[in-house]
Structure 1
Amino acid sequence: MITIGFIGTGLMGLPMAKNILKSGFKLKAFNRSIEKAEPLKEFGAEISKTISDVVKDSDFVITMLTDDSAVDAITSSSDFLDNLKSGSTVIDMSSVKPTTAAKHGTNLKSKNVNYLDAPVSGGTIGAEEASLAIMVGGEQSIFDKSEKILKAMGNPTLVGPVGSGQVSKLANQIVVGVTIGAVAEAITLCEKAGADPNKLIKALSGGWADSKILQTHGKRMIDKDFSPKGKTYTHLKDMNNILECANSYNTHLPISNLVKEMYKTLVDNGHGNTDHSSLYNEIERINKK
């Protein structure tokens, strides 16, 4: 039976690992705070207490971590590298820089370990429902071997060589960030002008302006419920990575730059742990000047 080692069982990783187990795979789970991995026991997971244990004898190792530094800390460690099974596959589903993905892909190839970068979109709801959009960078043959595992978590698409998954995720975050800003402005305009924003969302359903962000994030803005599903500081990290990537290709993204500055102000003002739909609050702040 295929054995999967899963590293990082936070808001996204926990339901993702749960869906892998529900699909009948054998899974070992590790999280720096072990108690966050414990709920997987009831679904048949083995809880590992060390990186070396979760990696050892695993045919596939999946990492779902917060950022580049977290991924680097794990995948560059001797506990990780020295215990990887020759011929195994590492799938990094974290959102990191394309250059970070390329670096780890090259490093692992030298150890006869395959690598895919496979960041996701869909938030905690998508993770729970196994409906995540999964953007994959790597070789076709390795993708084919990994597809059944990835399909346990959502809808995988191979978009190009190593690093392409991360570029696609950055493109995704451009659309998400800019759309959150557009929805926040639409809700704000309705509130200021006396139109019912709840009825606005209903009225736009099925039209060109309709989207998951309008339906979900718009409701959060109306209810002023910014409990974190996707965090503001995480989206700021994504916007910074977007602009860094664009700059490396001498490409200007003015709208992304504006959204990045708004997220930066939110984080600077202590709202880093709120939901990224709290971009609405930055528009409120601007209007109170």
Structure 2
Amino acid sequence: MKISFIGTGLMGFPMAKNLLQKKLNLKIFNRTLKKAKPLEEFGGEVKLSLGEVVKDTDFVFTMLTDDAAVEKVLGNSEFLKNLKPYSTVIDMSSIKPKIAIKYGKLLKKNNINFLDAPVSGGTIGAEEGSLAIMVGGDQKVYNSVIDLLKIMGNPTLVGKIGSGQISKLANQIIVGVTIGAVAEAITLCEKAGVDGNKFIKALSGGFADGKILHNHGKRMIKKDFSPKGKVSTHLKDMNNILECANDFNTQLPISNLIQSMFKSLVDNGNSDDDHSALYKEIENINKSK
């Protein structure tokens, strides 16, 4: 079984590393070579072009930044002409559902299987191999790749192509709104003189307990906004959420608010902060009062 992995950024690198640690035959490509080279020490075979990395490969994983990056790869003629007939492309990027559907149709015309399989869980989930993986596509194709997906996390087939991306957008609504709620809670505690760490401990086992409270809440308390999931990435997701909702003639008022807060952070130079920096935006709102 020959496998390729394209895109070794914050998420892709640990995901590819987990595959390599299972002693799998893995070819790797990344536009910025230095981000892929360290995977050689784990047995990865770094290639210099899209054509080389997908040639004679059974499964091709892509983990890319955004819609534009995915289109540059999946629509690339070198990529398309070198894909092995009846091989499977699994795009794990977070993109618009209509982009996933577009390339699912294009690849099918070329006798290539396709799954959209975006993930949630951040860099910690990628490192631990515990990502939530939301998959759209055919059951038989999914069955053929499920064991590989399980190395990276917990996959679930949620429907036809595009359904994975819809599920990821719904996931990002919950994540974004919850980060905002945690930011307000931590802010209120700090303003009232309540110890934030003790507050988080006090909520243990209650309805408000959870990963975002513990992970993002503690980052807010420490004022550590080094990126695990970037503000710019979550703004991209919020924009896609609102566009998708509009496609279905659906209003999402809370998502609109969270989108505007992430946009304000980007406009004020916080693009590369962790998305827990919603705390900063609430801080800025209070300063302007």
TM-score by length of 1: 0.99
For the residue of structure 2 that corresponds to 1:152, the secondary structure is helix
SS at match of 1:183: helix
Q: Which amino acid aligns with 1:194?
A: G
Given the alignment of the two structures, is residue 107 of structure 1 paired with residue 106 of structure 2, yes or no? yes
Aligned to 1:78: 77
Q: Which consecutive residues of structure 1, in runs of 5 or more, have no partner in the other structure?
A: none
Residue 24 of structure 1, CA deviation = 2.6
Partner of 2:24: 25
Q: Deviations over 1:173-204 (max 9, x none)?
A: 00000000000000000000111111100000
- 1:147-167 superposed Cα distances (whole Å, 9 cap, x missing partner): 011011000000000000000
The aligned amino acid for 1:256 is S
Secondary structure at the aligned position of 1:159 is classed as strand
Cα displacement (A) at 1:25: 1.6
Deviations 1:24-80 (A, max 9, x none): 321000001111111111111111011100010110111000000000011101110
SS, match of residue 274 in structure 1: coil
Would you say 1:277 and 2:276 are equivalent positions? yes
- Structure 1 SS opposite 2:82: coil
Look up the equivalent residue of 1:248 and give its one-letter code.
D
How is 1:110-189 mapped onto 2 (pairs within 5 angstroms)? 110-189=109-188
Q: In the aligned structure 2, how far is the partner of 1:257 from the partner of 1:49?
A: 41
Q: In the alignment, which residue of structure 2 is the partner of 1:222?
A: 221
Query: Does structure 1 residue 197 correspond to structure 2 residue 221?
Result: no
Other-structure match for 2:230: 231
Matched, 1:38 2:34: no
Q: 1:41 & 1:288 partners in 2: Cα distance? A: 49
Number of positions where the alignment pairs a residue of Structure 1 with one of Structure 2: 288
Query: Which residue number in structure 2 is paired with residue 9 of structure 1?
Result: 8
Determine helix, strand or coil for the equivalent of 1:195: coil
Q: Which residue of 2 aligns with 1:47?
A: 46
Q: CA deviation at 1:206?
A: 1.0
Distance 2:5 2:172 in 1: 25
Q: After the TM superposition, which parts of structure 1 deviate over 3 Å for at least 4 consecutive aligned residues? A: none
Deviations 1:108-157 (A, max 9, x none): 00000000000000000000000000000000000000101101100000
Please give the secondary structure, in 1, of the residue aligned with 2:5.
strand
Structure 2 counterpart of 1:225, which letter?
A: D
Q: Out of 21-30 and 275-284, give the one that drifted further.
A: 21-30
RMSD of aligned residue pairs (Cα, Å) = 0.5
Shift of 1:23: 1.8
**2:246 corresponding residue in structure 1:** 247
Cα distance in 1, alignment partners of residues 6 and 134 from structure 2: 19
- Is it true that 1:65 corresponds to 2:64 in the alignment? yes
Q: What amino acid does structure 2 have at the position aligned with 1:98? A: P
1:287: how far off?
A: 0.2
Q: Cα deviations across residues 218-241 of structure 1 (Å, max 9, x unaligned)?
A: 000000000000000000000000
| Paired residues for 1:263-274 under 5 Å | 263-274=262-273
Which segments of 5 or more consecutive residues in structure 2 lack a partner in the other structure?
Answer: none
Deviations along 1:204-225, whole A, 9 cap, x unmatched? 0111000100000000000000
- The secondary structure found in structure 2 opposite 1:32 is coil
2:171 & 2:204 partners in 1: Cα distance?
22
Letter of the structure 2 residue corresponding to residue 157 of structure 1? T
